[in-house]
A = this chain, B = another copy of it.
Amino acid sequence: MTPTTGVPDVLARSAEKFAPAMKAAVERLTPDIRRMVGYHLGWSDPEGRPVGSPSGKGIRPTLALLSAEAAWADAEVGIPGATAVEAVHNFSLIHDDIIDGDRERHHRATVWVLFGVGPAIIAGDALETLAHQVLLEASPATGAAASAALAEATAAMIAGQADDIAFEQRRDVSVEECMAMSAAKTGSLLGCASSLGAVLAGAPPATVGALRDYGRHLGLAFQAVDDLLGIWGDPSRTGKPAGNDLRQRKKSMPVVSALAAGGDEAEELRSLLLGPADRSALVRPLDSDQVERAAYLVDACGGREWTTVRAKAHLDAALGALERVRISAVPHRQLADLAVYVVERES
């Protein structure tokens, strides 16, 4: 294989190619909505004045561009896909922050905190619609297929989010249910991002399917790492309080697999996180002593190890999917490097 530049360089180069299209898409929004979206994307302050650098790593748009190149097309062919996927991803973040009551993202107040719940709902709605406009205008030959693929992925993502909420009310979520929810919530959109450029390039179904599988496994690996960072991540790097997911009693992969282990420590964890059957106990977040104890128990019950093994297994499956079809060598290597990077990240 040809040697390639490192992942941060690939991300930076993609961002450069993709930024003008994203700016142009956001320009189409009405001024009030544009101000919220520009703020959310880290382009501007709450008053709309330009500021520093955008938030987020830009992994999804990069995947969309690489998937066009993997299918032997120019990266430019994937740009509408990159824009659309980034729009849907950010629509889901803006709505999720309302749903989860999260007040901060990347050390900044979330959109609903600054602008109100109603306007934040509208900003998300506008981004979802914008994504389809961008794709349907992209290419007469392939735009409709791309839009259909994105709608399917979005529907799965939303179903996963609904399950995630429902699980909060339940004491008996199985490991299988948890993995299926993650596959829907995170895997489907990453699977779409990783294949949308190829769809726009008119690639054969086998190529699109292999790239989508790569992205779905990458999404599950990504979610596993996210769940590990949600318990053991360094607050100065993740931008969230230590053990944030435990504090919020989130049924993440490490927790659910630890609870499934059985035994005294799993029972202690269950009563710590889920309280007595009486639901009122669930209202308050855990305090920091409880968070520390819960993190110990998740580890002791094998939840950390299990999740780490799953992250590696999904990384291997993602890399394996890339071998199923003949794709262009340089983007092949860059997709592989990106997958490793995602699993090894610390924020």
Decide if A133 is an interface residue (CB 8 Å cutoff).
Answer: yes
A300 in the interface (beta carbon within 8 A): no
A91–B100 CA distance with the chains assembled, in angstroms? 20
Cβ–Cβ < 8 Å partners of A98 in chain B = 117-118, 121
User: Which has the most chain B C-beta neighbours within 10 Å: A28, A125, A166?
Assistant: A125
Q: Is there an interface contact between A132 and B144, defined as CB atoms closer than 8 Å?
A: no
CB of A145 to closest CB in B, whole Å = 8
Which residues 310-340 of A have a CB within 8 angstroms of B? none
Tell me how many residues of A have a C-beta within 8 Å of chain B: 40
A176 at interface by CB-CB < 8 Å: no
**Which residues in chain A, 117-152, are within 8 Å of chain B measured between CB atoms?**
117-119, 121-122, 124-126, 128-130, 132-133, 136-137, 143-144, 147-148, 151-152
Report the Cα distance A122→B152, complex, angstroms.
15
Contact check, B158 vs A33: say whether CB atoms are below 8 A apart. yes
User: Is the C-beta of A114 less than 8 angstroms from some C-beta in chain B?
Assistant: no
Chain B residue contacts of A33, Cβ below 8 A: 158-159, 162
In this assembly, does A252 line the interface, its C-beta being within 8 Å of a C-beta of chain B?
no
Known: A121-B121, A132-B132, A144-B147. A126 touches B159 (CB 8 A): yes
Dominant SS among interface residues on chain A: helix
**A29 at the A/B interface (Cβ < 8 Å)?**
yes
Q: How long is the Cα–Cα vector from A98 to B112 in the complex, in angstroms? A: 13
Nearest opposing residue in chain B for A123, CB measure = B162
CB of A30 within 8 A of CB of B122, answer no
CA distance A126 to B118 in the complex (A): 18
A151's partner among B122, B133, B163 (CB-CB below 8 A) is B133
| Bound form: Cα–Cα A142–B32 in Å | 33
B162 and A148 form a contact (CB under 8 A): no
A220 to B26 CA separation, bound complex (whole angstroms): 28
CB-contact partner of A148 in B28, B121, B136, B155, under 8 A: B136
Select one of B122, B126, B128, B165 contacting A119, CB under 8 A. Answer: B165
| In the complex, chain B residues whose CB is within 8 Å of the CB of A122 | 95, 99, 158, 161-162, 165
Distance of A232 from chain B, by nearest CB (Å): 27
* Interface check A154, CB cutoff 8 A: yes
Please encode chain A, from 92 to 114, with 1 for each CB lying within 8 Å of some chain B CB and 0 for all others.
Answer: 00010011100000000000000
In the assembled complex, the CB of A24 is this many whole angstroms from the nearest CB of chain B, namely 15
B121 and A95 contacting across the interface, CB-CB below 8 Å: yes
Q: Which residues of B contact A129 (CB under 8 A)?
A: 128, 151, 154-155, 158
Is the CB–CB distance between A163 and B32 below 8 Å? yes
CB–CB B118/A99 < 8 A: yes
A195 to chain B, nearest CB (A): 16
Interface pair A99/B121, CB less than 8 Å apart: yes
Cα-based distance from A132 to B165 in the complex (angstroms): 24
Interchain residue pairs A-B with the least CB separation, the first 4: A144-B144, A99-B118, A30-B159, A136-B148
